[in-house]
Structure 1
Amino acid sequence: MRYIIVGAGAVGGAIGGRLAESGHDVVLVARGAQYEALRTGGLRLVTPDGPRTHRLPVVDRPEALDLTADDVLVLAVKTQDTAAALDAWSVRPVEGGSTAGERLPLVCAQNGVESERLALRRFRQVYGMCVWLPATFVEPGEVSAAGTPLTGILHLGRYPTGTDGTARLIAADLEKSKLLAPVVPDVMRWKYGKLLANLANAIEAVTGPLAEQDALALFERALAEGQAVLAAAGIDPVGQEEQAEARAGRIRFEPFDGSPHGGGSSWQSLSRGTGTIEADFLNGEIVLLGHLHGVPTPVNDVLRHTANTFAREGREPGSMAVADLVALVDAGIS
């Protein structure tokens, strides 16, 4: 199989680079400065076992690539960019007839739970992937990933439920590439569990790493809302103990000397000045479900709004004091 990595940023670059290292055909899809850097200098993937530069095929649009029946599309863009990517790729012709949406598998390697819903409107074969792969977009053309001996753990399954031979083939390729990929019949349970953890992303993005007790307490408040909402919706996410057991002894992190702190995905969006952030699909997912099921979610609503304001106004990540964010939350509740 050939892997088309749609969104060759931190996660997409790490997955694509590791697949390439183990001999798999990989095409990277990127835009702007990232596309130019990948095209001219290749992908530099920095891991604890050393840096490697992969000179891989790279395109900046679907029209620049001829698709075959053996291709797998791996969607690794932020959720706010999902709809545009799906629109562009789903209609592309595949060698032998028909379109990508009708013939090719699509793997959603993203945070949140919205992309799979969007994808199933356009693709017949949709797979969810719960991504636990801490990686940083260092600069155009360079990605770092500090996990060792595994680079990441990627639970994989058919959407909305089930497994199949394609999932098992993809998982086998990933597991030859320093990426553990358990195939599970209930992948969205894993993604909802990750969603709860990602409720901290907005706090980190606007105030910095969750080191202060007040920041941790604020996350606990957001988490309590999330758990209440999922219970009201009848959703049973994977718990923290099950997640910890899945990772135990399989991966550890070795920092890179001199490398900058990249923060989580939302922090990185602010630091790169993209103008958008995924808060609508993390904290905002909890707010949406709260509205649908009659559960108040004032903490997550303020976190969503504040993170969006930071992105829209181009504010620096970590530039708000934790006390000020807590005050905004308390004002929104009163």
Structure 2
Amino acid sequence: MKIAVMGAGAVGCYYGGLLARAGHEVVLIARPVHVEAIRAHGLRLETRSFDEQVRLEASSDPAAVAGAQLVLFCVKSTDTESAAAAIAPHLAPEALVLTLQNGVDNDIRLQPLLPQEVSASVVYVATAMAGPGHVRHHGRGELVIATGSRSAALAACLAAAGIPTEISDNVRGALWAKLLLNCAYNALSAITQLPYGQLVLQPGVTDTLADVVAECLAVARADGVLIPGDVPAAVRAIAQTMPGQFSSTAQDMARGKPSEIDHLNGFVLRRGAALGIATPVNRMLWTLVKALEAKAAPKL
């Protein structure tokens, strides 16, 4: 299968690398610094079980999606609309676009912009770019994908590449469950520049995590969203299963890049306001991250 990864950062490179390693024709659409390294040496895919140079195509041109049967859409939530406009003229009519993004509404925002089928997924993986063309995997790696006409075939394809995949008829609830984890950890990891394992050892952090989760659950209930599983247990497990992981927001802030905070705690803040639910802890975390971004902006 020909597969394109639009916005191949750490998440896209990880899943694209696994699919290429499984024999699929993969092109990563990424920043020039990564494209140059991948073209010269292949993608270095460093996981807990292997460390390999995976040969695959790479481009910085969105037109490279042409002919792909599957597009993994991995851009930042802030770039969803602009990335859709960039790939729209080049997408094959039969392409399936699978969103692998933070936030809960990217597929909803994307579908009106593309005539192709758009499907949502929830990503549970800890990865980071360790250098140009070098992705390092810290833990997990499973996906939850939405029920659809092609979901069974897609899940089988992903599983054969070593990507555990579950099909869910409540992917919106699963996206909210992931949003809860991001709202709990991302801003605090960014503000402190601590990985999850060290973060939870700091005074007051576990109580703050609980407060964030309680607000998110209240907003989700008011929005009619059914969140599956034991949310408090899932929040605790993150620090245990990914102790060395810095949040994506922390990584963005460390590099002086704009974060996705508007689509994490900021999204909960907006939905809470619309539904009449107070979210003071989420508001404070959003405010602090935005203030730190503003402070760093003159240096960019």
- Give the TM-score, by structure 1 length: 0.79
1:21 corresponds to 2:21: yes
Letter in 1 for 2:82: A
Match in the other structure for 1:127:
119
1:253, distance to aligned residue in structure 2 (A): 6.0
CA distance in 2, matches of 1:59, 1:243: 41
Letter in 2 for 1:145: H
SS of the residue corresponding to residue 166 of structure 2 reads coil
Q: How many residues align?
A: 286
Residues 311-330 of structure 1 mapped to structure 2, 5 A cutoff: 311-314=293-296
Structure 1 residues 50 and 109, CA gap change in structure 2 (3 angstroms): same
Q: Deviations over 1:19-42 (max 9, x none)?
A: 111111111000232222223232
Q: Deviations over 1:275-333 (max 9, x none)?
A: x1011101011111111101111211121121123234339xxxxxxxxxxxxxxxxxx
CA distance in 1, matches of 2:6, 2:155: 18
Match in the other structure for 2:277:
295
- Give the TM-score, by structure 2 length: 0.88
Task: Judge conservation of contact 1:137–1:268 (CA < 8 Å) in 2.
Answer: no
Match in the other structure for 1:190:
174
Task: Judge conservation of contact 1:163–1:184 (CA < 8 Å) in 2.
Answer: no
SS of the residue corresponding to residue 23 of structure 2 reads coil
Question: Quick one: which of 265, 284, 292 aligns to 2:248?
Answer: 265
Match in the other structure for 1:49:
49
Structure 1 residues 12 and 142, CA gap change in structure 2 (3 angstroms): same
CA distance in 2, matches of 1:313, 1:55: 40
Any unmatched runs of 5+ in structure 1?
95-101, 256-260, 316-334
Match in the other structure for 1:318:
none
Residues 5-154 of structure 1 mapped to structure 2, 5 A cutoff: 5-63=5-63, 65=64, 67-68=66-67, 71-92=69-90, 94=92, 103-123=94-114, 124-147=116-139, 151-154=140-143
CA distance in 2, matches of 1:243, 1:108: 26
CA distance in 1, matches of 2:218, 2:173: 15
* Higher relative helix content: 2
SS of the residue corresponding to residue 301 of structure 1 reads helix
SS of the residue corresponding to residue 226 of structure 2 reads coil
Letter in 1 for 2:100: A
Considering only aligned residues, what root-mean-square deviation do their CA atoms show, in Å?
A: 2.3
Match in the other structure for 2:160:
176
Q: Find the structure with the greater CA-based Rg.
A: 1
CA distance in 2, matches of 1:142, 1:310: 28
> Percent same amino acid among aligned pairs?
29
Structure 1 residues 52 and 254, CA gap change in structure 2 (3 angstroms): farther
Structure 1 residues 46 and 85, CA gap change in structure 2 (3 angstroms): same
